[in-house]
Amino acid sequence: AQSVTQPDIHITVSEGASLELRCNYSYGATPYLFWYVQSPGQGLQLLLKYFSGDTLVQGIKGFEAEFKRSQSSFNLRKPSVHWSDAAEYFCAVAADMRFGAGTRLTVKP
Amino acid sequence: DAGVIQSPRHEVTEMGQEVTLRCKPISGHDYLFWYRQTMMRGLELLIYFNNNVPIDDSGMPEDRFSAKMPNASFSTLKIQPSEPRDSAVYFCASKGQGAGEQFFGPGTRLTVL
């Protein structure tokens, strides 16, 4: 069965610092992978997705993620975090769209 | 398109009462998903439909929970009778065919007293 693991429950970074959120998946073939963001009181919004091709994918709001088959990972990155990035971030694997536990990001001024 | 529409946005009810949550997916989408989000359990997939047919309901916690999709533009999630531990935010999401992304509604915050 497909599964996805987000090892970090909560991460705190300073505004302007770089960010990396980890996601590991378990799947027999090349998975379809997604990152979503959830702001407080809101639904989930897609940041980016990977289906095939270039392993480095660009998303909205300056985020990117890199698919690494050898490590079964799809980590989310941003070079410089803004205070508005404080939210909960979810990694997901298709096809039945089960989500990881989420990582809550706090941004310090 | 207005996106996925859920109603009500907030629901407060007393234990033992029946609760019905409603969802209108994005027009043309073939898949519809119901999720429950709590602090303790995170985001749980309850059930999903493809072309109005339930495909996987293994996440439905108990017989008190039921979901229907009578047509392509409407789905309900019903809890009868409701219990305080059902308090959560319930999300509906839809997507088209293939492995595309889901589009989420704003959620229904349910409080069972």
pLDDT in tens, A28-70: 777 889 999 999 888 899 999 998 888 999 999 999 999 999 9
Q: Confidence band (pLDDT; 50, 70, 90) for A84?
A: very high
pLDDT for res A1: 65
A33 chain-B contacts, CB cut-off 8 A: none
Shortest CA distance to B88 belongs to which of B17, B13, B23? Answer: B13
CB A15 within 8 A of CB A82: yes
Instruction: Kindly report the average pLDDT of chain B as a whole number.
Output: 94
Under a CB-based contact definition with an 8 Å cutoff, are residues A87 and A39 in contact? yes
At B1 the pLDDT is: 66
Compute the distance between CA of residue A27 and CA of residue A39 in angstroms, rounded to an integer: 29
Cβ separation B104–A45 shorter than 8 A: yes
Interchain CB contact of A49 with B (< 8 Å): yes
Closest-approach residue (CA) in chain B for A6? B42
Q: What integer is the mean pLDDT of A62-79?
A: 95
Taking the CA of residue A95 and the nearest CA in chain B, the distance in Å comes to 6
Q: Find the closest chain B residue to A37 by CA distance.
A: B104
Q: Which of A28, A70, A63, A34 is nearest to A51 (CA)?
A: A34
Report the alpha-carbon angle B30-B36-B38, nearest 5: 155
pLDDT number for residue B21: 98
Chosen from A48, A91, A96, A103 to mutate, greatest number of chain B CBs within 10 A: A96
Instruction: Give me the phi and psi of A60, to 5 degrees please.
Output: -80, 165
Query: Please, are residues B74 and B52 in contact by the beta-carbon 8 Å criterion?
Result: no
pLDDT in 10s for each residue of chain B, 113 residues? 689 999 999 999 999 999 999 999 999 999 999 999 998 888 999 999 999 999 999 999 889 999 999 999 999 999 999 999 999 999 999 999 877 889 999 999 999 99
> Which residues of chain A have a CB within 8 Å of the CB of B106?
42-43
**Cβ contacts from A onto B, under 8 A:** 43
pLDDT at B64: 96
CA distance A93 to chain B (A): 10
Least confident of A13-17, A53-57, A61-65, A75-79: A53-57
- Interface contact B104-A99, CB threshold 8 A: no
Closest CA to B49 of B67, B24, B63, B28: B67
Interchain CB contact of A26 with B (< 8 Å): no
Q: What is the pLDDT of residue A97?
A: 72
| pLDDT, position A24 | 93
